[in-house]
Structure 1
Amino acid sequence: MKISGKELASEVYQDVQKKLLMLHQKKVVPQLVIVKSSNIDAVNNYISQKIKKGEKVGIEVKVVDMNERDCENRKLIQKKIIGLNKSANIHGIIFQKPSNSQIDEAIEELIDTQKDVDGFLENSFHKPPVYRGVIKVLEKIFNLEGDEFIAYLKTKKVVLIGKGKTGGQTIISGLKTEGFNREQLTIIDSKTSEVKKKEYLINADIIISAVGKLNPVDLNLFSKESILIDIGVHFDERNKIRGDFNEEDIQDRVGYYTTTPGGIGALTVAYLMDNVVNAAIHTIIN
């Protein structure tokens, strides 16, 4: 059964709109700043999605374009990020991936944890939007929320394929904060043997794929009762966004699944906007 990320995202936006109404009544317009250092199609595609969604819901989205020369100048980077941190009108800052810069982490570590709406920093005020999207899908499938959902999730065997920073690592860190241990979360990466992959996948209740290439594992290893959540992203030969699996290849192999596009990506943008709004609310309260 296909789980629509777009439908679930609409639920998130309903909550976002309620918060925005309160902010707008107080003359506060949440603002997100996207720092980019690359002009490749993937980056521009992601930024365009966020700008359009921000305009639609009432969040101002601005882009700070840093070229390669800028990114080689650490002092210039520090000055720009610190300036964004100090601005009371800016509530969220993200560094758009992928990028040509060799110092992405150095840039990200300068972002104020209150404004780290991507949730990548260790002490971030926010949970990563990707992680929140995955949890939303699972809550929908299990029809549970809160502590009851987490307790039930811990009874399941979760397998994560890939552990990149923007995908897999957000799932690892998110589940760790919920008290997951190594027995409850198994990770498959490039060093995992084929024998172990088979063992893990055949017995998995939930599979989260975060590789960024087509069919990273043997589809025959999926159980028809399992849940497959695809958070991997790549662009095909026609420059169209795609996930780790094609829908026609998996729809009859698993019990529940998400697709790309129309799956976790839609939820990720929704929760990014929610994080920006929450950051704006936090500035009012404090």
Structure 2
Amino acid sequence: MSAQIINGKEIAEAVRQEISKEVQQLSEKHFIPGLAVILVGDNQASQTYVRNKEKACKDLGMHSVLIKKPANLTQEELIQSIDELNQDESIHGILVQLPLPGHISEKAIIEAISPEKDVDGFHPINIGRMMTGQDAFLPCTPYGIMVMLEHIGYDVEGKHVVIVGRSNIVGKPAGQLFLNANATVTYCHSKTKDLAYFTKQADVVVAAVGKRDTITSDHIKEGAVVIDVGMNRNDEGKLCGDVAFDEVKNKASYITPVPKGVGPMTITMLMKNTVKSAQKALEQRKSAQKS
């Protein structure tokens, strides 16, 4: 068999069409969703990500603000910039592009962002809400994975999902979202002994370790769904994931490619979270006016 390709680029475009309609509805009420991105330093990869976010905002008719700061910025100065955005009613989402210079605590910066504007879904309050099944801004990459599976009509309820990776950005929250959707979840990581023992039992394997060829055809059972979150380079310098795509695709039922897989979904879900934040802000404004 040969796996069906889950085309993240096409799914992201379909979701963006829905977002565009929501932005239009807000615009008709003279309410434009606004996203502010703070970029510290001159990391090339970060600059590329930020440009893509700016373009996505523009394409959707959203308000976009880019704040560039030098790498020698102090933590206090960065928090002050965040505080100003927390108070800015035209901004509904705040994103500080990671990674940050070593002298700045990512934890402190994430916690400085208002939970109501934390459209990355990294704030402990949003993580806590997600963990307990409450309404929250969901981390964008795991959120995108769930939307992809929903889009292809794959129901995860009762399925065994193995997450390979335990980062706070992808691995941990992805497992929680699957658990919230009534899947049975197993976490594996760099210290797991006999990784294949666990992944061979999985109906769904999510590879998110940042090391190419971590998942080969020997790691999955026939007909498994394979989601590749990795972003690496092969010997020729081309983008590749954590999955040995060419061999795994002949055993899986569905598989995401790299690129054009999970990647396009991440920015799309960021846009969706920002619009959701704007919708909430508008409702709060209406409630305040009534009272």
Relative to structure 1, the CA distance from residue 58 to residue 173 in structure 2 (aligned partners, 3 Å threshold; closer, same or farther) is same
Q: How does 1:132-147 map to 2 (within 5 A)?
A: 132-141=143-152, 143=153
Q: Residues 239-276 of structure 1, C-alpha deviation per residue, up to 9 Å, x if partnerless? A: 65432235323221311100121111111111111111
Alpha carbons 2:33, 2:63 under 8 Å: kept: yes
Relative to structure 1, the CA distance from residue 163 to residue 44 in structure 2 (aligned partners, 3 Å threshold; closer, same or farther) is same
Secondary structure, counterpart of 1:68 in structure 2 = coil
- Counterpart of 1:11? 14
Kindly indicate whether residue 214 of structure 2 is the aligned counterpart of residue 186 of structure 1: no
What are structure 2's unaligned runs of at least 5 residues?
127-135, 285-291
Alpha carbons 1:9, 1:270 under 8 Å: kept: yes
The whole-number CA distance in structure 2 between the counterparts of 1:218 and 1:239 is 20
Q: How does 1:63-82 map to 2 (within 5 A)?
A: 63-70=66-73, 73-82=74-83
- Counterpart of 2:85? 84
Q: 2:259 aligns with which of 261, 270, 277?
A: 261
The whole-number CA distance in structure 1 between the counterparts of 2:236 and 2:101 is 22
Q: CA deviation at 1:235?
A: 4.6
Q: 1:279 aligns with which of 255, 277, 280?
A: 277
Relative to structure 1, the CA distance from residue 207 to residue 168 in structure 2 (aligned partners, 3 Å threshold; closer, same or farther) is same
Q: CA deviation at 1:175?
A: 3.4
- Counterpart of 1:252? 250
Secondary structure, counterpart of 1:75 in structure 2 = helix
Kindly indicate whether residue 79 of structure 2 is the aligned counterpart of residue 116 of structure 1: no
The whole-number CA distance in structure 1 between the counterparts of 2:232 and 2:72 is 27
Kindly indicate whether residue 199 of structure 2 is the aligned counterpart of residue 201 of structure 1: yes
Secondary structure, counterpart of 2:125 in structure 1 = coil
What are structure 1's unaligned runs of at least 5 residues?
none
Kindly indicate whether residue 108 of structure 2 is the aligned counterpart of residue 106 of structure 1: yes
Q: How does 1:6-45 map to 2 (within 5 A)?
A: 6-45=9-48
Alpha carbons 1:224, 1:254 under 8 Å: kept: yes
- Counterpart of 1:166? 169
Q: CA deviation at 1:123?
A: 1.9
The whole-number CA distance in structure 1 between the counterparts of 2:160 and 2:232 is 27
User: TM-score, structure 2 length as denominator?
Assistant: 0.86
Counterpart amino acid of residue 112 in structure 2:
L
Relative to structure 1, the CA distance from residue 23 to residue 212 in structure 2 (aligned partners, 3 Å threshold; closer, same or farther) is same
Counterpart amino acid of residue 49 in structure 1:
N
Relative to structure 1, the CA distance from residue 4 to residue 110 in structure 2 (aligned partners, 3 Å threshold; closer, same or farther) is same
Relative to structure 1, the CA distance from residue 237 to residue 165 in structure 2 (aligned partners, 3 Å threshold; closer, same or farther) is farther
Counterpart amino acid of residue 126 in structure 1:
F
Q: State percent identity of aligned pairs.
A: 27
Relative to structure 1, the CA distance from residue 43 to residue 236 in structure 2 (aligned partners, 3 Å threshold; closer, same or farther) is farther
Alpha carbons 1:156, 1:205 under 8 Å: kept: yes
Relative to structure 1, the CA distance from residue 58 to residue 236 in structure 2 (aligned partners, 3 Å threshold; closer, same or farther) is farther
Relative to structure 1, the CA distance from residue 139 to residue 178 in structure 2 (aligned partners, 3 Å threshold; closer, same or farther) is closer
Moved more, 218-227 or 11-20: 218-227
Moved more, 123-132 or 202-211: 123-132
Cα root mean square deviation, aligned: 2.0
Relative to structure 1, the CA distance from residue 38 to residue 236 in structure 2 (aligned partners, 3 Å threshold; closer, same or farther) is farther
Instruction: State the aligned residue count.
Output: 271
Secondary structure, counterpart of 1:85 in structure 2 = helix
Q: CA deviation at 1:219?
A: 3.4
The whole-number CA distance in structure 1 between the counterparts of 2:278 and 2:200 is 44
Alpha carbons 1:232, 1:244 under 8 Å: kept: yes
Q: CA deviation at 1:169?
A: 2.4
Q: Residues 123-179 of structure 1, C-alpha deviation per residue, up to 9 Å, x if partnerless? A: 2231122122111222233x26xxxx4xxx231110001111222122134335456
Alpha carbons 1:92, 1:117 under 8 Å: kept: yes
Alpha carbons 1:120, 1:170 under 8 Å: kept: no
The whole-number CA distance in structure 1 between the counterparts of 2:176 and 2:108 is 20
Secondary structure, counterpart of 2:251 in structure 1 = coil
Counterpart amino acid of residue 69 in structure 2:
M
Alpha carbons 1:114, 1:279 under 8 Å: kept: yes
The whole-number CA distance in structure 2 between the counterparts of 1:120 and 1:99 is 15
